[in-house]
Amino acid sequence: MPLFVLTGAGVSAESGIPTFRGRDGYWRNLDPAKLATPEAFSSDPKLVWEWYRERRQGIRNAQPNAAHGAIAKLATHADEFLLVTQNVDDLHARAGIPAQKMVQIHGDIFVTRCSRCEFSYADRGGLPEPPRDRVLQSGRLRSIAPTSDSDVDVPRCPNCDELMRPGVVWFGEQLSRNELERVEDFLDGGACDAVIVAGTTATFGYIIDWALRASRDGAELIEVNPEETPLSRFATRLVREPAAIALPRIVDELIALG
Ligand code: OAD
CA–CA separation, 43 and 142 (whole Å): 29
Q: For residue 94, which phi and psi values (nearest 5 degrees)?
A: -70, -20
Task: Reduce the DSSP state of residue 21 to 3 states and report it.
Answer: coil
| CA 19 to ligand 1 centroid distance, Å | 5
| CA 131 to ligand 1 centroid distance, Å | 29
> Considering the entire predicted model, what is its pTM?
0.91
| CA 164 to ligand 1 centroid distance, Å | 26
45 lines ligand 1 (CB under 6 A): no
pLDDT in tens, 240-253: 999 999 999 999 99
Answer yes or no: is pLDDT of 90 > 80: yes
Residue 106 appears among annotated catalytic residues: yes
Which sign does the torsion angle of CA 90, 91, 95, 99 carry?
negative
pLDDT in tens, 128-167: 454 444 444 444 444 444 444 444 589 999 999 999 999 9
CA–CA separation, 128 and 133 (whole Å): 10
Among candidate residues 68, 77, 92, 106, the one labeled active-site is 106
Contacts with 244 (C-beta within 8 Å, 6 or more apart), sequence order: 14, 65, 66, 67
Q: For residue 210, which phi and psi values (nearest 5 degrees)?
A: -65, -40
For residues 197-207, b (16+ Cβ closer than 10 Å) or e, as one string?
bbbbbbebeeb
pLDDT in tens, 165-219: 999 999 999 999 999 999 999 999 988 999 999 999 999 999 999 999 999 989 9
